[in-house]
Structure 1
C-alpha cells in the first residue's frame, strides 16, 4: 500500500503498481487513477468487476472501495494519486462545466465515485 509519510510530502504521486500479490478490498482518502500500460488486470470496484486491458484507465474518487487482482510478470499498471482532498471527480466535473478545464484521453476510461461524496 501507499506510504502515508511519502504522500504527506507530495500532492501528486506516480508509481508502478506492485505485481505478484493481490490487494484486498480497501478505500483511500485521495483520488486514484490506474492506467494499464501493459498486460491486463482484474479489479472489483464498488462491487462491480472491472477488467483492465492495455490502454485502459480506471479513475476512482475519494472513498471508492476497490480490490486489485494479482498482476503477473508482463503486466504493468501505473498508479496516479492526487493527495489533495480538494480534488475529486465532482470538483473536476464542476470545473469542466465552467469551460475552464478540458480533459482529453485517447483511451477508454471508467470512473467511480461514492454516493456520499
Structure 2
C-alpha cells in the first residue's frame, strides 16, 4: 500500500514544465473573422511570410462561415432539402417517359412482343 504522504501524479525530480523544457513558442498572429450574426472569432496562426491564411473560418458560436471583412461577412450557405429517390427520378424523366417505361416493363412481364 502506498504511503499516505506521497504526492500523487508526480515523480522524484519533477519540476514545473516551462519554456526551457518545451522550447520556444513560434511567433503567432491573431486574425479576426466575423460571421453574418456579428460574432467575432480570433484564431491564431503562425506569423510567417509563407503561412497561408484561410479566407473563411467557421464561427464556433453559430456555425456560419466567417470572413475577414466585418462590413461584408460571407452569407450563410443555402441548404437543399432532402430529396427522395422518386424526386430525383422525376427530375430526370417526364410523365410520358415514365408511362413508356412502365408499358415496356408490363409488356415484358406479360410476355408480349415489344
Bucket of the pairwise TM-score, normalised by the shorter protein? under 0.3
User: Which has the larger share of strand?
Assistant: 1
TM-score by length of 2: 0.18
With structure 1 as the length reference, what TM-score do the two structures score? 0.18
Larger RCO: 1 or 2 (CA < 8 Å, sep 6+): 1
